[in-house]
Every structure is written in C-alpha cells, then in structure tokens.
Amino acid sequence: MVFNKKRTINCGGKLIDLSVPVVMGILNVTPDSFYANSRASGEKEILNRTETIIREGGTIIDIGAYSSRPDAALVDEAEEYDRLRPAIALVKKHFPEAVVSVDTFRANIVRQLYEEFGAFIVNDISAGDFDNRMITYVGKNRLPYIVMHTRGTPQTMQNSENCTYEDIVFDIISYFVNKKEQLREAGVVDIIIDPGFGFAKTLDGNYELLAKLDAFKILEQPVLVGLSRKSMFYKQLNITPEEALAATIAGNVVALRNGADILRVHDVEEASHTIKVYLEIKKYSK
C-alpha cells in the first residue's frame, strides 16, 4: 500500500520543505529543564543559542518555557508568558527569517504571541487535551500544529496505569487517527505527529515504538521524533543526560530509517551530520 505523506509545512507563508529530514533545535527559557545545556536565561544566552542552532543547521527553533519532564514544577500562565515573550521578541528581531516553534499547551499564550508576532508552529505536548480552546484557535488561524501523544500530566504521566497499553503502536496510532479527524474538522491544515517518546511510556515501550515507527506512515503526516538525551537512554545505560549523546545519535539513525521527518534535539550539529550521512548512505541502499 502506498501512503502519500505531506511534505511541506506552511508557517505564515514560509514553506518548510520536509522532502528530506530537518532538525528542530531546542531553546529552553526555563530554570529546570532536565538537560542544563539547553537552558538560556538572558538576552545574550538566548541570542547565542539561537545563532548556534541556525549555524549548526537547525531549520526550526523550538522555544519552551515550561519543563514537561516527569515531576516538573508547575508554572502558571503568567509566568510562562513572561518567559516566552521576551525570548520570541529577541529571536524575531535579530533572526527575522527563522522559523519559530512555541512549546506550550495553553491557547491563551498562543493567542497573545500570535497577535504580537504573527505565525509560528505550535508544539503542544497534550495535542489539545489540556486546553480545549487550543485546537479551535490553531485551526482558525491556520497555524502549523505539532500534536504529541501522552497520558496524564507531567506530574502523573509515568504512573503504571498511564504507561500500560494493550498494543502500544496500535493504541497510539488509533489515538492519532481520531485526533487527526478532530483537527481537520477544526480547520487545522498542517499537522505534525509526535509519538511522545518518554511521555507515559515505559523504557521497553519507548524502544518498541522506535523500532516500529514506520507504522506511523499510515497517518500520512510528517513525524517528529524527540529522543534527545532522554531517560530511555540514560536509564538504560546507567549514565547521565550529559553522557547520552552517542545513544541519542544511535536512536536518531533508527528514527530516520523508520520515517522520521523532524529530529527535535539539543545537539543540532550532531543531528545535522547524522541526517547528511544517513541520506548519503541511503543513495546506495535502494
């Protein structure tokens, strides 16, 4: 069976070509993200991190102000907005051609930022399940939308009940089939699927999902994979996130082989090189 996966994303008139995989670089304006080197907390750090992402081959800059790691501290809406707004203002001013993604599950934050700065990609870890206004707003304004699979909240997602599936791949694809229909009805045009590695999954579940990632082609949407330095590597190997770069690269190679279109990473240069080498090898494997 042939599946026709969507190959372009329109972000306010900027077309993102996904005919070959691209890199999304992480810029966290949080004090508690699990990987310290992704954090930026001042104008100089934000601009340096943005420049590094672009120079090292990043296509998208993903800016987040609310850590979604397990047991992360709660951040109220006002504080999240107060972290995001100046960071986005700096990026838009100094790197006006950059494609920005905003990592938030709150529709009101998307509304405020969109009204001031124009279009960006919305990266929602809850796929609209944490805020029932999100999908309507994204659809109304034709914003590209990354929908991630999870269960529970960052505080409860690793409970055994949330991590139990009858068939993890089938269950998550079924979730996205229903979600895709909901998004289309709301007018969302550009949908990016994120299986949600590390979110309401056991270590074994993460590895099974990665091994069978090519099953997601049935959804005919671009697939984003976020494996960067996650616990599926550092817990499995009994190392720290700081030591998990090699494991991340290995995981990203498998993700690329199995159909990933966007790699969301902390280490942009390494991911860019991984894609280039993978594509070069692929030329000779047909």
Structural domain range at position 178: 8-282
Q: Is residue 99 part of a domain?
A: yes
Higher pLDDT, 158 or 266: 266
Percent of the chain with pLDDT over 90: 84
Residue 46 sits in a domain of what CATH number?
3.20.20.20
What are residue 225's DSSP bridge partners? 263
Q: Is residue 163 part of a domain?
A: yes
Q: Is residue 217 part of a domain?
A: yes
Q: 11-25, 145-159, 213-227: lowest mean pLDDT where? A: 145-159
Among 261, 277, 286, residue whose Cα is nearest residue 59: 261
Q: Is residue 121 part of a domain?
A: yes
Q: Is residue 3 part of a domain?
A: no
Q: How many domains does the chain contain in total?
A: 1
Q: Mean pLDDT, to the nearest integer, of 187-204?
A: 96
pLDDT greater than 70 at residue 32: no
pLDDT greater than 50 at residue 13: yes
Q: Is residue 246 part of a domain?
A: yes
Exposure of 93 in the CB half-sphere (CA atoms within 13 A) = 10
DSSP state of 8: E
Among 58, 35, 69, 30, residue whose Cα is nearest residue 46: 30
> Residues 223, 195: contact at Cβ < 8 Å?
yes
Predicted confidence (pLDDT) per residue in 102-136, tens digit: 999 999 999 999 999 999 999 999 999 999 999 99
pLDDT the model gives residue 35: 47
pLDDT greater than 70 at residue 2: no
pLDDT category at 171 given cuts 50, 70, 90 is very high
Percent of the chain with pLDDT over 70: 93
Active-site residue numbers?
230, 264
Element (H, E) at 53: helix 43-55
Q: Is residue 1 part of a domain?
A: no
Among 91, 23, 85, residue whose Cα is nearest residue 59: 23
Predicted confidence (pLDDT) per residue in 37-72, tens digit: 555 668 999 999 999 999 999 999 999 998 776 666
pLDDT the model gives residue 70: 60
pLDDT greater than 70 at residue 189: yes
> Residues 113, 93: contact at Cβ < 8 Å?
no
Predicted confidence (pLDDT) per residue in 70-102, tens digit: 666 778 999 999 999 999 999 999 999 999 999
